[in-house]
């Protein structure tokens, strides 16, 4: 792909951001766990979020239209602010042999799944975006594992024993996010925010 074409594209996704107190609590957990397995790719505190749809590298014109259509669809849906709960550590595909470590999401999953379905329908209506046929599995990524050898015996033994406090999470806003890849990690910039149920 030519440099000119890359410049005219935006790597983006739709997510729910976390407030600072939640990030602080999760970051405390990450710092403890990262000491046991420092070679894993641990999430940065400022980058913590719940992804609803990764859209990929899209033309700017497509992004502009998508932002508007999301605004219209979310407004028409009348989905009100809702409460989620963060608790429990898991792994994909399993906690014993993980490629991803994550924090579980529970609470008002009916509202969350309804919101994610709207986002999926709008975004995948554009030919550049692939529709995800797998069931949506809400989670917050804590770490990614590139090499199985990076999973240390100490963290394998420790993970099932972790007691993470159940934290309530008031979801009021949906964010359309730009992602710029750098050697230090992705830099996220909000392109649009949608307030649920007309919340201020």
Confirm if 29 and 164 have CB atoms less than 8 A apart: yes
Let me know if residue 27 belongs to a domain: yes
Query: 199: how many CB neighbours lie within 10 A of its CB?
Result: 12
For residue 137, give the nearest of 103, 179, 184 by alpha carbon: 103
The answer to whether the pTM exceeds 0.85 is yes
**CATH number of the domain encompassing residue 56:** 3.90.1140.10
Let me know if residue 154 belongs to a domain: no
pLDDT of 181:
92
Give the pLDDT confidence of 130-152 residue by residue, as tens digits: 999 889 999 999 999 999 899 99
Let me know if residue 97 belongs to a domain: no
Number of structural domains found in the chain: 1
Supply the mean pLDDT for the chain: 92
Give the pLDDT confidence of 148-167 residue by residue, as tens digits: 899 999 998 888 888 888 88
Let me know if residue 101 belongs to a domain: no
Give the pLDDT confidence of 53-88 residue by residue, as tens digits: 999 999 999 999 999 999 999 999 989 999 999 988
CA distance 90 to 171: 22
| Range(s) of the domain holding residue 189 | 3-39+47-85+106-136+169-198
pLDDT of residue 1 exceeding 90, the answer is: no
């Amino acid at each position: 792909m030519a440099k000119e074409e890359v410049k005219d594209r935006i790597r983006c996704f739709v997510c729910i951001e976390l407030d600072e107190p939640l990030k602080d609590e999760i970051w405390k957990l990450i710092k403890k766990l990262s000491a046991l397995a420092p070679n894993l790719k641990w999430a940065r505190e400022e980058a913590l979020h719940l992804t609803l749809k990764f859209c990929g590298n899209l033309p700017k014109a497509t992004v502009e239209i998508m932002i508007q259509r999301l605004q219209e669809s979310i407004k028409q849906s009348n989905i009100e602010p809702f409460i989620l709960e963060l608790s429990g550590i898991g792994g994909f595909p399993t906690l014993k042999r993980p490629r991803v470590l994550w924090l579980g999401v529970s609470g008002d999953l009916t509202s969350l799944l309804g919101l994610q379905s709207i986002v999926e329908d709008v975004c995948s209506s554009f030919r550049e975006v692939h529709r995800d046929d797998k069931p949506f599995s809400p989670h917050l990524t804590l770490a990614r594992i590139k090499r199985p050898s990076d999973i240390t015996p100490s963290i394998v033994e420790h993970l099932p024993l972790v007691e993470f406090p159940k934290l309530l999470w008031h979801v009021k806003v949906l964010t359309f996010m730009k992602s710029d890849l750098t050697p230090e990690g992705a830099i996220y910039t909000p392109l649009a925010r949608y307030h649920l149920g007309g919340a201020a």
